[in-house]
Amino acid sequence: MTLPQNDHVGVLEIKTKKREWVSRALDRTFSPTSGAIAPIWRDEKTLITYAEDRGTAHVVQVDATGKIAPKWLTTGRRIVKSFNGIGSAVNATVAFVASEVNQLTELFVLTESGEKRLSNLSAFLIAESAPQTWEHFTVPCGSTYSGGPNEIDVWMMKPREFDSTKKYPMLLNVHGGPHTQYGETYFDEAQMQAAAGFVVVMSNPRGSSGREQAWGQAILGRKHPVAPGTGWGDADVKDVLAVLDGALAKYPFIDAKRVGMLGGSYGGYMATMLAGCHGDKFKAICSERAVNNMLSEEWTSDIGTVFRVEHGPNHLEDEAEYVRMSPIRHVRNINVPMLIIHSENDLRCPINQAEELFMALRILGKDVTFYRFPGETHELSRSGSPIHRVQRAEIILDFFTEKLAN
């Protein structure tokens, strides 16, 4: 098995034990979320599931024989988070929940006669906070890509109370994974940053999900036995730089001298990598729950065995390649102010990843601040204790407000 690999719907004949993949006509990831829900039978010939598509996710109808291409049952700029079937098989009603950029997750039902919204939990949010919307655009990839459309999906959010005559600082946010996607959903952190006066830019560079399988596999290891790619820190870095250049060229209200970058997990890896390789493009960088040393990460992570599947050889078999992919090897070149945030109980990217980077920067006399969160895990930003989540958000906002000030 190769990673990433677009997940597909399969039908297993119990008597013959014959398995057939029936959704491959649509090269996307089906049931993309963790703890994914199994497809449901709508009738004897069709199944219902959901799939990602370039920053969105929608309910999909799949032909049980695989002879008819999957059909999108929902559309629009939103992300379906979950679904289920209600009622008899033939006349089943599909219930699903979905979120938009300026709307919390709401409940919908889908029947033969169409779609109906059942909840309005976002009313108070819209009334009290006036959430901003995303503007979607694309930029060419940072280097050659032939597996599909040669373009990166990008989203920009303007600051609240935007004034076209002013220049604004920008925050470039890189998602974790790397095989996940940003897109058309409510993101509290982006809304908070926009409310604080920042332009927020996010994207899905190569390695992200939501695209053809070749897109996600583009950054697999150079010596991967099945689908060799560029390895981490190559095509993905070039794409993020292309996004930065594209945003600066498209939006004259962004102040190119006040650009910050942030990311968590793999996004933190990218933040540290860009700090060391292209730090002159940024005025401040936040690296959160990051992978900074690929060798020690494979030794200590709770998913260390996945590295061989992702990169090909493990670090004992190809130490030089793991060193090449490690952001910490560029630490001497980091001159941009750095904020490091990490949870002490993080098993995915253990705390030593932050400690190694922090100590190296301190030894070199660099501008670095390190916050440790006791009792928290890799999921601090999503499901950590409320007080720590608030503290984390305030730390990040205060850091960029200070460093990106006029």
- 116-135 tens-digit pLDDT: 999 999 998 888 888 999 99
- The pLDDT, as a whole number, for residue 1 is 46
- The pLDDT, as a whole number, for residue 88 is 53
Q: What letters, b where the CB count within 10 A reaches 16 and e where it falls short, cover 80-111?
A: bbbbebeeeeeebebbbbbbbbbbbbbebebe
- The pLDDT, as a whole number, for residue 3 is 63
Cβ-in-10-Å burial (0-12, 13-18, 19+) of 169 comes to buried
CB hemisphere CA count around 106 (13 angstroms): 21
Helix (H, G, I), strand (E, B) or coil at 277: helix
Specify the higher pLDDT residue, 124 or 218: 218
- The pLDDT, as a whole number, for residue 294 is 98
Question: What residue segments make up the domains of the chain, in order of their start?
Answer: 10-122, 132-403
- Indicate whether 406 pLDDT > 80: no
Confidence of residue 222 (pLDDT cuts 50, 70, 90): very high
Mean pLDDT of the chain: 94
Region 371-397: mean pLDDT is 98
C-alpha span between 274 and 259 (Å, rounded): 13
Report if pTM > 0.85: yes
- The pLDDT, as a whole number, for residue 105 is 95
Q: What is the CATH number of domain 132-403?
A: 3.40.50.1820
- Indicate whether 32 pLDDT > 80: no
**Which residues neighbour 149 within 8 Å (Cβ) at sequence distance 6 or greater?**
none
Region 4-32: mean pLDDT is 90
